[in-house]
């Protein structure tokens, strides 16, 4: 069976490609600007509830967003 390959995008790229500033995205997600910056730097720390809101806001599947540390 041919499965589809999902291209992963990091959180910063997903936000920028969706056209959101850090301030607008943070407000829409119910987090502070500093929290969103921290999540973008180390996405392993994103709570599941916030990850789901990010996927919806950025109009991406949760599987297409890379939730792991940027130093890997």
Q: Model's pTM, two decimal places?
A: 0.82
Cα gap 51→57, rounded to integer Å: 10
Greater confidence, 61 or 67? Answer: 61
Considering its fold, how many domains does the chain have in total? 1
Full residue range of the structural domain in which residue 39 is found: 11-64
Look at the block and give the residue holding tokens 């916030």.
50
The 10s digit of each residue's pLDDT in 9-53 is 899 999 999 999 999 999 999 999 999 999 999 888 899 999 999
What's the angle, vertex CA 61, arms to CA 15 and CA 71, rounded to 5? 55
pLDDT at 2: 54
Does residue 4 form part of some domain? Answer: no
The verdict on residue 5 lying in a domain is no
CATH number for position 38: 1.10.260.40
């Amino acid at each position: 069976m041919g499965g589809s390959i999902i291209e992963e995008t990091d959180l910063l790229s997903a936000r920028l490609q969706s056209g959101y500033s850090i301030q607008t995205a943070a407000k829409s997600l119910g987090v502070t600007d500093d929290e969103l910056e921290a999540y973008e730097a180390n996405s392993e720390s994103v709570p599941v509830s916030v990850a789901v809101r990010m996927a919806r806001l950025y109009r991406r599947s949760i599987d297409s967003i890379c939730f792991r540390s940027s130093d890997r």
